[in-house]
């Protein structure tokens, strides 16, 4: 890896929304660190983004494991890279009836959606506090609210949304801004990623901290009532 500034760290980079956001960031002159567990998809999307003129670093990690989260930041620090923006899109669904549930798979979903999110946010915060600036975008996927088969996914995502609001209070006077975007189930094709990027790059961290983007404030409030 080369030591350069203007990097954005994108977790879950092979997901459709992540790639769309990455593309807009590349167009806006940002360099990208793409993290995903599928090496073939990661390389394919990395090559596409390089054609836009961005420097792209692709890193394969399985963030179900806490040690992989720590090793990610260790590698970045070892190479002198401190990303200015963290985009966290780790969400993964799990569907099934309670009587057929597999507690080990459920724990994996908790580790990926909750533990890795908390670690990523905390490590980014500690790194960027030294710089006095930074932005975090946590993407929360709203499950199919009418289907009880998504019960474990409902639980972890509602926790993350509430946790983001609480974590936001931790950011006072740090120069770091936290955004949350609630992605409606099966609605990625209708997401306006250009508006997301515009809001993400426009808002100054010294201003009052906000949920992100404005049109999702209503969605976030509704999602908190799922359970």
What element of type H or E holds 83? none
Digitized pLDDT (tens) for each residue of the chain, 227 residues in all:
444 568 999 999 998 889 999 999 999 899 999 999 999 999 999 999 999 999 999 999 998 889 999 999 999 999 999 999 999 998 655 444 545 566 677 788 888 889 999 999 999 999 999 889 999 999 887 655 555 556 677 778 788 888 998 888 888 888 999 988 887 655 545 556 666 776 666 644 333 344 444 334 333 333 332 22
Architecture of domain 7-223: 3-Layer(aba) Sandwich (3.40)
Residues whose CB is less than 8 angstroms from the CB of residue 69 and which lie 6 or more positions away in sequence, other chains included: 61, 63, 116, 119, 120, 123
Q: Cβ(87)–Cβ(18) under 8 Å?
A: yes
Instruction: Delimit the domains of the chain by residue range.
Output: 7-223
Q: What is the pTM of this model?
A: 0.80
Are the beta carbons of 201 and 164 closer than 8 angstroms? no
DSSP 8-state secondary structure symbol assigned to residue 112: I
């Amino acid at each position: 890896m080369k030591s350069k500034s203007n990097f954005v760290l994108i977790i879950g980079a092979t997901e459709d929304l992540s790639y769309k956001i990455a593309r807009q960031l590349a167009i806006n002159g940002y360099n990208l660190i793409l993290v995903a567990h599928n090496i073939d998809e990661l390389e394919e999307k990395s090559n596409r983004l390089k054609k836009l003129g961005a420097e792209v670093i692709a890193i394969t990690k399985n963030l179900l494991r806490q040690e992989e989260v720590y090793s990610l930041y260790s590698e970045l620090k070892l190479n002198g890279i401190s990303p200015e923006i963290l985009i966290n899109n780790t969400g993964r669904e799990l569907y099934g009836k309670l009587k057929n549930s597999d507690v080990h798979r459920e724990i994996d979903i908790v580790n990926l959606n909750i533990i890795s999110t908390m670690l990523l946010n905390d490590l980014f915060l500690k790194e960027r506090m030294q710089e006095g600036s930074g932005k975090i975008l946590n993407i929360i996927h709203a499950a199919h609210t009418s289907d009880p088969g998504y019960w474990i996914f409902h639980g972890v995502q509602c926790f993350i949304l509430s946790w983001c609001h609480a974590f936001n209070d931790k950011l006072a006077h740090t120069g770091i801004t936290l955004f949350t975007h609630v992605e409606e189930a099966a609605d990625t094709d209708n997401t306006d990623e250009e508006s997301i990027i515009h809001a993400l790059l426009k808002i100054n961290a010294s201003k009052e901290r906000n949920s992100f983007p404005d049109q999702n404030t209503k969605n976030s409030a509704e999602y908190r009532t799922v359970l």
